[in-house]
Amino acid sequence: MTKSVVVGTAGHIDHGKSSLVLALTGTDPDRLKEEKQRGITIDLGFAHARVGDMDLAFVDVPGHERFVKNMLAGVGGIDAVLLVIAADESVMPQTREHFAICRLLRIPRGVIALTKTDLVDGDMVEVAAMEARGLVEGSPLADAPIVPVSARTGAGLDALRDALAAAGARAETRTASGAPRLPIDRVFSMRGFGTVVTGTLTQGTLRVDDELVILPADRRVKVRGLQVHGASQATAEAGRRVAVNLGGVEVADVRRGDTLTAAGAFAVTRRFDALVELLPDSKALRHGARVRFHHGTAELLARVALASTADPVEHAEPALAELQPGRRAFARVRLEAPAVLARGDRFVIRQYSPPITIGGGTVLDPLPVRSPIRTAAAARRLVRLASSDAEAAMAFVEESRAAGMAADALARRAGAVPSGPVVAVGSTLYSAVVVTDLETRLVAEVDAYHRTQPMSEGMPREEARERVFGAAAPALFDDVVQRLVKAGRLGGRDRLALPGRGVSLSDEEAKAQAALERVFQDAGLAPPDIAAAAASARVASAVADRVSKLLLRQKTLVRVDTLLFHADALGRLKREVAGMKGTAAKVDVAAFKERYGISRKYAIPLLEWLDRERVTRRVGDARVIL
Ligand X SMILES: Nc1nc2c(ncn2[C@@H]2O[C@H](COP(=O)(O)OP(=O)(O)O)[C@@H](O)[C@H]2O)c(=O)[nH]1
**Which of 118, 322, 399, 568 forms a contact with ligand X (CB under 6 A)?**
118
Does position 15 bind Mg ion by CB under 5 A? Answer: no
For residue 58, give every residue at least 6 positions away whose Cβ sits within 8 Å of its Cβ, in sequence order, or none. 6, 7, 8, 9, 21, 24, 25, 29, 46, 47, 48, 49, 82
Specify the residue, 92 or 622, whose C-beta has the smaller distance to Mg ion: 92
| Cα(423)–Cα(407) distance, integer angstroms | 11
13 binds, among Mg ion, ligand X, none (CB under 5 to 8 A by kind): ligand X
> Measured from the CB of residue 118, what is the shortest distance to ligand X in angstroms?
5
At closest approach, how far in Å is the CB of 29 from ligand X? 8
Chosen residue from 6, 7, 10, 17 binding ligand X by CB under 6 A: 17
Q: What is the DSSP pairing of strand 219-228 with strand 146-148?
A: unpaired
Query: CB atoms < 10 A from the CB of 221, how many?
Result: 20
The amino acid that residue 305 corresponds to is A
> Should residue 15 be labelled a site residue for ligand X when binding is judged by CB under 6 A?
yes
- Give strand pairing partners of 56: 5, 49
Give burial (CB, 10 Å; 0-12/13-18/19+) of 429.
buried
For Mg ion, the binding residue among 17, 241, 256, 332 (CB under 5 A) is 17
DSSP per-residue codes, 177-235: SSS-EEEEEEEEEETTTEEEEEEE--BSEEETT-EEEEETTTEEEEEEEEEETTEEESE
Task: Tell which one of 6, 25, 54, 63 touches ligand X (CB under 6 A).
Answer: 63
- Judged by CB under 6 A, the residue of 6, 8, 10, 18 near ligand X is 18
Compute the least distance from the CB of residue 151 to ligand X, in Å: 4
Coil, strand or helix: which one is 453? coil
Q: Report how far residue 455's alpha carbon sits from residue 329's, in angstroms, rounded to the nearest whole number.
A: 60
Under the binding rule (CB under 5 A), the answer on residue 18 touching Mg ion is yes
Closest CA to 566 of 603, 527, 599: 527
> Of 16-24, 132-140, 271-279, 452-460, which segment contacts Mg ion by CB under 5 A?
16-24
Which does residue 151 touch among ligand X, Mg ion, none (CB within 5 to 8 A, set by kind)? Answer: ligand X
d(CA 323, CA 300): 21
**Residue whose C-beta lies closest to ligand X:** 16
Contact (Cβ atoms closer than 8 angstroms) between residue 82 and residue 20: yes
DSSP 258-319: -EEE-TTSSEEEEEEEEEEEE-TTSPPEETTEEEEEEETTEEEEEEEEEEEE-S--SS--SS
Distance CA 606, CA 560 (A): 7
CA distance 310 to 304: 15
The β-bridge relationship of strands 428-431 and 422-425 is: antiparallel
x/- contact string, 25-64, with Mg ion (CB under 5 A)?
----------------x-----------------------
Residue 343 sits in the site that holds Mg ion (CB under 5 A): no
Identity of the residue, 41 or 94, whose beta carbon is nearer to Mg ion in the bound complex: 41
Which stretch in 10-18, 96-104, 204-212, 606-614 sits in contact with ligand X by CB under 6 A? 10-18
For residue 73, the tally of other CB atoms under 10 A from its CB is 25
Among 151, 226, 544, 577, binds ligand X (CB under 6 A): 151
Query: Of these, 119, 424, 532, 540, which contacts ligand X (CB under 6 A)?
Result: 119
Binding ligand X by CB under 6 A: which of 90, 150, 200, 400? 150
Q: Residue 19 interacts with ligand X (CB under 6 A)?
A: yes
Burial zone of 288 (CB within 10 Å; 0-12 exposed, 13-18 middle, 19+ buried) = exposed
**Total interface residues for Mg ion by CB under 5 A:** 3
109 binds, among Mg ion, ligand X, none (CB under 5 to 8 A by kind): none
Q: Which of 4, 6, 16, 174 binds ligand X (CB under 6 A)?
A: 16
Residue 270, interface with ligand X (CB under 6 A)?
Answer: no
Rounded to an integer, what is the distance from CA 355 to the centroid of its chain? 30
Contact partner, 327, from ligand X, Mg ion, none, Cβ < 5-8 Å per class = none
98 binds ligand X (CB under 6 A): no
Q: Which is nearer to ligand X, 116 or 450 (CB)?
A: 116
Instruction: List residues near ligand X by CB under 6 A.
Output: 11, 13-19, 39-41, 63, 115-116, 118-119, 150-152
Instruction: List residues near Mg ion by CB under 5 A.
Output: 17-18, 41
